[in-house]
Amino acid sequence: MLTSFATGVLLMCDAWFDVMMSNREDGMTATVTALLVELPLAGLLLVGATRLLWRVSWRYGMVDADSRPWQVPIPLGPNEIGRRPAEG
């Protein structure tokens, strides 16, 4: 999960870097490559990592089945696995 998320973020940074650092001749190629290859792949990796984190958290009882992926608490250690967040 972590490597997929990090790769997605780095692909977004690479797309930005390629577009910003390209000269006039390579500008269109860099933009098309960023829009058609790098950014969709980055989105796929980020969404996949987020969904996998939600599924693992749901499997261990950390979230409810109707919760959203961005509401998943990040476990900080082995004592956090299986512990539900306090209601309140």
Summarize the confidence of residues 8-31 as an average pLDDT.
95
Residue at 67 is within a domain: yes
Residue at 87 is within a domain: no
Put simply, whether the predicted model's pTM sits higher than 0.85 gets the answer no
Residue at 61 is within a domain: yes
pLDDT recorded at residue 68: 83
Residue at 6 is within a domain: yes
For the stretch 27-72, pLDDT in tens is: 999 999 999 999 999 999 999 999 998 888 888 887 888 888 777 7
Distances (CA, A) of 48 to 18, 30, 44, 45, 61: 24, 25, 6, 5, 20
User: Which residue range(s) make up the domain with 30?
Assistant: 2-80
Residue at 88 is within a domain: no
CA distance 76 to 17: 33
Residue at 38 is within a domain: yes
pLDDT recorded at residue 14: 96
As for how many domains the chain has, the answer is: 1
Summarize the confidence of residues 71-82 as an average pLDDT.
66
For the stretch 65-74, pLDDT in tens is: 888 877 777 7
